[in-house]
Chain A
């Protein structure tokens, strides 16, 4: 066997191991977070695409449990910040503190805040003031935090998984669009159906609680993040995504009349990038080495629902933004196939 062939075989074996790791991580998460396979997949997609997630769901649906379990499975340093109206930016980023050495000399030292973790759970992020919310911006985008003129790099990998309650609007501060756009996925956790709820009640009220095992290391996560970007995508699928993203723009002539009438702003190019990347991750999760139109469809709602907002007229008329998004995508996917 030549060295090239040996390298190739080794690379194939490593690829196989990566897929197996993903499958095991999915299995571990699914054992704890019961009945929400799609949500588990979406969080894994965020994990292997280095994306932040905004998790939305009613209280008691297990949002915190899900994120904590993900940190356990991936071996990431978990950090939780409970956002409140009086939370200040320094409370999360950290601040300079005065310290004395053994000789009694005073000096300042940066005391890192809870943001310096690998998987940060920003619980009820919409309860904090915009000032505090915006403190997350630099960390999410630049992966650094600047305090007293000094930029401090975040740990790698770094994720912010924020949660918010969609029902309690009083005393909350809606996230500005610029900040919402920083989130790779918006994961909606629905109320479980009867069978799932029954299983949850059975699994969580007994003596032996299921605990997820760590199957990944931070290095595995980073390697998987590189692997995702290698997944090829066919030109007609990519073209369909581009056309779909443009079809969500309300100012574009020839777009669907409902888009022109009801949409406040459409999907940004960053949204398109997120869609492609997420579709690649979904393909790997499915054990496939190429992006299919179905993968893209799976990613449409979590990747774009927070980047596609209706105007007042659309909200007043009860337009279903999710359904509209899927309809627009399906039209472009059909056209891509027909060619």
Chain B
């Protein structure tokens, strides 16, 4: 086989021309590669930023030096990747011949440029002719670096979200409050907070936030009323937790929380209704059920004490003339006359007929009061006791007026009766007559007329519904 020498004009020209023909392809390939690498540089830097931001949120503020180092590292790694992945002539040839259907002509020719063989020379000519006919734009078409762009967009979105989230968390009042010990809170601060949160809720029409504000306000009122902090703390913690949750941008989570809240309330209402319709629970030991027992009970004793003190107090409205009584009624609207209280305490009792048969049945002392006499009772109130009377300022010297007032507490099982002390004493001490915690067994009934009009609605939530008892209406 005839072979040509290395200095053959034919082969030498073909070699130079082939390299020349591949130059535009090489330039375009490098341009495309650089563009792709730049896109990845941006994406890599953004991803690094996201990681730094997330680390700052999770682990606390990071050192600026570390942040800068990470960013520089990301940018440097991307730049190195650009240089390292820069295509050479052989890789460009392989890429082009794959897409242009040249069947490895270019790469084989490039690799065998220096060989002296008639077959190689023929290959060089063939490759040269085909390389010349190539359009660089068609052979190496522009392709968007989709993966890098998607990564950049995702990283940018994550960065924006993290930024918004961090600002919101920083601005959340819940965070500052949660850092403050609950014991240091006073009612004013809490009410101020409730107002602020309520304003936010109104501005944003945020039902969840409004519910949290209402809860905070209620707790603030309780604090202001001197409620024991041991009761308030768990509720306050829960409210602050909800507050922190409400201020986050997790809309789905908020909706879910609202749904859960609604479900909880619905379940609670259902439980209350079921409890109202359920038979009376058996009374615990020590609960009075007969006139004798009732007379010996603390309730009767307390009532007797009250009566005695009212009669001894010349300034009591109940002791005043009918005109003064009318005036007192006009002022207070909830006067309990001595007759009422006497009637209340002296009402005969009858043995209980428990357990009751069902909703609407006459139960407890109501069924015992066959003469229709009134008995002070709640739905299962057994004990009336005094609180806050042991201090020097709480000297109980008389009753000016009696009120059924105050917030409904402990799921409606307790009525707070505020009985201001004697006018003569002028003390601001308030007495709370609190119906005991046990609410299962009714001991007495309270006639409708005894309860002032203003408080009938409230009292109706704690007393059994009105029922005809021996011609009287409870």
Contacts and interface: CB of A to CB of B under 8 A. Distances in A.
Interface in B89-134: 91, 94, 98, 103-105, 107-109, 111-112, 115, 117-123, 126
B466 to A, nearest CB: 84
Contacts of A293: 103-104
Contacts of A327: none
B10 interface: yes
Interface string A296-339: 00000000000000000000000000000000000000000101
Interface stretch (B1-9, B167-175, B313-321, B387-395): B1-9
Interface string A274-290: 00000000000000111
A144 interface: no
A4 B10 CA distance: 10
B345 interface: no
Nearest to B102: A292
Given A15-B119, A289-B123, A339-B94, A4 B4 contact: yes
Given A7-B2, A226-B1, A227-B1, A290 B118 contact: no
Contacts of A236: 94, 107
A185 to B, nearest CB: 22
Contact of B109 (A8, A290, A292): A290
Interface residues of A, number: 32
Given A290-B104, A292-B103, A294-B103, A230 B2 contact: no
B2 A8 contact: yes
Interface string A222-249: 0100110011111111000000000000
Q: SS class of chain B's interface: helix, strand, loop or mixed?
A: helix
Given A11-B2, A288-B103, A337-B98, A230 B8 contact: no
A232 B122 CA distance: 11
B8 A4 contact: yes
A292 B123 CA distance: 12
B11 interface: yes
Interface residues of B, number: 30
Contacts of B10: 5, 8-9
B121 A8 contact: yes
A192 to B, nearest CB: 29
A289 B122 contact: yes
A289 B118 CA distance: 10
Interface in A149-200: none
Contacts of A291: 104, 108
Contacts of A2: 9
A211 interface: no
A270 interface: no
B120 A289 contact: yes
Nearest to B122: A289
A223 B111 contact: no
Contacts of B4: 4, 7-8, 11
B118 A11 contact: yes
Contact of B118 (A230, A233, A237, A339): A230
B1 A11 contact: yes
A258 B108 CA distance: 33
A2 B8 CA distance: 10
Interface string B3-38: 111011111000000000000000000000000000
Given A11-B1, A232-B123, 16 more contacts: A4-B5, A4-B8, A4-B9, A5-B8, A9-B10, A11-B121, A12-B118, A227-B119, A230-B119, A233-B108, A234-B104, A234-B111, A288-B103, A289-B126, A290-B123, A295-B103
30 contacts: A5-B8, A5-B9, A8-B4, A8-B10, A8-B11, A10-B2, A11-B2, A11-B3, A12-B118, A14-B1, A14-B2, A227-B119, A230-B117, A230-B118, A231-B119, A232-B108, A232-B111, A232-B112, A232-B115, A233-B108, A234-B108, A234-B111, A236-B107, A237-B108, A289-B119, A289-B123, A290-B103, A290-B104, A290-B105, A292-B103
Name the 9 nearest CB pairs between A and B, nearest first: A11-B2, A292-B103, A290-B108, A289-B123, A8-B4, A11-B118, A234-B108, A230-B119, A232-B112
